[in-house]
Chain A
């Protein structure tokens, strides 16, 4: 089984639209949305949810006012300044470290496990999909990413499916790190802009750090052809697999509005041809 993780560094370069397009092209696969913080793939896939599970991770510290003597030790120890003047705890500031719980001389602080999201196993017109929703303002997105990737693997194993397409998060932090371990390759979708280039270099460095082979494609390439060529040169110098360029094309937005992949919306656009070439290159490289 092989897992390709699609990431970008910079947000808004077209990761999710491309994953959706690949879903149209790949024969048998499990789709996995690992951008749990702002998951969007379901907006095109229109999944029929078969299983729904709570995601529990971390704890909330809650002071029991009846037992609390307001001695102030919790406030002294808390490094997040989460204990308010009235001896309640700000759930947004609380890190769930439990130091206050441990030291409270009155045992007045409860520490229940937190439900911070949900994850789902669904059926779509392109096959099975694992996705999730992290609660707003919640933590532990990395753990939820790990969970959806594990579930996608189990699902692929159980159904004899050899490919997982994982839609990753922007950035280089916790959810992205959680999406890289054990992947067979990452595809970095970038754009020919100063920020696209800058962010791609950082996320490629992260993939190198985790020894995951890097593939690169440039979306919206005609916005700055010179910068797109620079990215190609950079990729070749670094021995990353350069899979090609995709032109700026409003068909991506139109397809998204219609909740379709770009191939469903119009099979004969220039962008569709370009994405097919990128997919063929990816397939050849990974021997799919």
Chain B
């Protein structure tokens, strides 16, 4: 079963919920941090990494001896990633979406697949918890292919928890698509509510069941709760603001590290998710 943790707004507590849930469940659980632009879960999980893989995107490399400058590659490319100007063909690998169109269309078979490094995946263990994440190369714009690679590490049995990036555009979709459940983490503020509505929209386009965790639940107003009723979005857990939690977080500690009584609450959260997935 795949549970993706998303939010719309950043900084609402996705990583806090993902890491505490994963550690509370323990054995047979895998945590994948798909916020490859700014991966943070490892700062709390502190895994021993055992495996690193460089992930690349296929980009065109032109054999100029074979190229007859017909310009078909530039014609098919929707991303302006390859153009023929005068008597040269110029690939712009950083714009390439790896669709393979230029290679398929080239009548001279003059284009082969080169690599643009997107980043790395790293995988390891914390006790019996399996952990993996991706780190986008700084300067690289396209995260979805790296996110898909991290997701390809998901095991076919047991529980996989995915920590998704903030927002509602393509990196988020790549992180929640085909999940069995999406757990949305918000804060009860106008920004939290506004972005939550966008996130619910995205989850519902994909047709995935979802539920809500309200973090810092006593700071803000009641509009998130009102919305959750209107939108038929079950509130599965509330975490009140507690300076001890915030300070522990600042040092890289989890809630269950400093307040072990919370483990039971995260296990209950999991039970409630199971009921909703059925």
Q: Which residues of A contact B (CB under 8 A)?
A: 8-13, 16, 37-38, 40, 43, 58-59, 77, 79, 92, 95-99, 102-103, 134, 136-139, 141-142, 169-174, 176-178, 191-196, 198-199, 202-203, 205-206, 209, 220, 223-224, 227, 248, 250, 253, 256-257, 259
Q: Classify the interface of chain B: helix, strand, loop or mixed.
A: loop
Most chain B beta-carbon contacts within 10 A, residue among A9, A169, A257? A257
Is B249's beta carbon under 8 Å from chain A?
A: yes
Is the pair B191, A223 in contact by a Cβ cutoff of 8 Å?
Answer: no
| Contacting residues, chain A, for B205 (C-beta < 8 A) | 92, 136-137
Most chain A beta-carbon contacts within 10 A, residue among B8, B12, B37, B201? B37
Partner of A16 from the list B166, B169, B191, B202 (CB cut-off 8 Å) is B191
Is the pair A99, B170 in contact by a Cβ cutoff of 8 Å?
Answer: no
Q: Which residues of B contact A (CB under 8 A)?
A: 8-12, 15, 35, 37-38, 40, 43-44, 76, 78-79, 97-101, 104-105, 136, 138-143, 165-173, 177, 189-191, 194-195, 198, 201-202, 205-206, 219-221, 243, 246-247, 249-252
Partner of A192 from the list B101, B139, B165, B250 (CB cut-off 8 Å) is B250
Is the pair A37, B168 in contact by a Cβ cutoff of 8 Å?
Answer: yes
Chain A minimum-CB-distance residue to B37: A171
Is the pair A79, B169 in contact by a Cβ cutoff of 8 Å?
Answer: no
A12 to B215, CA, bound (A): 12
Partner of A253 from the list B97, B189, B246 (CB cut-off 8 Å) is B189
A142 to B169, CA, bound (A): 11
Is the pair A96, B9 in contact by a Cβ cutoff of 8 Å?
Answer: no
Task: Return B95 CB to nearest CB of chain A, in Å.
Answer: 11
Chain B minimum-CB-distance residue to A17: B191
List 22 A-B residue pairs with CB atoms under 8 Å apart, sorted by A's residue number: A8-B10, A38-B166, A38-B195, A38-B198, A92-B177, A95-B97, A99-B76, A99-B100, A103-B105, A136-B168, A138-B169, A138-B170, A141-B167, A141-B169, A172-B136, A174-B141, A194-B44, A195-B38, A195-B43, A198-B43, A253-B189, A253-B220
Is the pair A136, B198 in contact by a Cβ cutoff of 8 Å?
Answer: yes
A206 to B168, CA, bound (A): 22
A102 to B8, CA, bound (A): 36
Is the pair A102, B168 in contact by a Cβ cutoff of 8 Å?
Answer: no
| Contacting residues, chain B, for A206 (C-beta < 8 A) | 138-139
Partner of B104 from the list A8, A77, A138, A224 (CB cut-off 8 Å) is A77
A68 to B177, CA, bound (A): 28
Is the pair A12, B9 in contact by a Cβ cutoff of 8 Å?
Answer: yes
Chain B minimum-CB-distance residue to A117: B169
| Contacting residues, chain B, for A203 (C-beta < 8 A) | 38
In the A-B complex, list the 8 residue pairs whose CB atoms are closest, starting with the nearest. Answer: A11-B10, A12-B11, A97-B99, A171-B37, A224-B250, A37-B167, A195-B40, A194-B252
Task: Return B273 CB to nearest CB of chain A, in Å.
Answer: 23
Is the pair A92, B206 in contact by a Cβ cutoff of 8 Å?
Answer: yes
| Contacting residues, chain B, for A227 (C-beta < 8 A) | 250-251
| Contacting residues, chain A, for B105 (C-beta < 8 A) | 102-103
| Contacting residues, chain B, for A224 (C-beta < 8 A) | 247, 250-251
A95 to B221, CA, bound (A): 40
Chain B minimum-CB-distance residue to A191: B250
Most chain A beta-carbon contacts within 10 A, residue among B97, B101, B202, B219? B101
Query: Given A11-B10, A170-B10, A256-B189, A194 and B251 touching (CB < 8 A)?
Result: yes
A31 to B35, CA, bound (A): 28
Is the pair B11, A13 in contact by a Cβ cutoff of 8 Å?
Answer: yes
A58 to B97, CA, bound (A): 12
Is the pair B220, A99 in contact by a Cβ cutoff of 8 Å?
Answer: no
A81 to B106, CA, bound (A): 22
Is the pair B220, A38 in contact by a Cβ cutoff of 8 Å?
Answer: no
| Contacting residues, chain B, for A170 (C-beta < 8 A) | 10-11, 37-38, 166-167
Chain A minimum-CB-distance residue to B135: A202
| Contacting residues, chain B, for A96 (C-beta < 8 A) | 78
Task: Return A171 CB to nearest CB of chain B, in Å.
Answer: 4
Is the pair A12, B195 in contact by a Cβ cutoff of 8 Å?
Answer: no
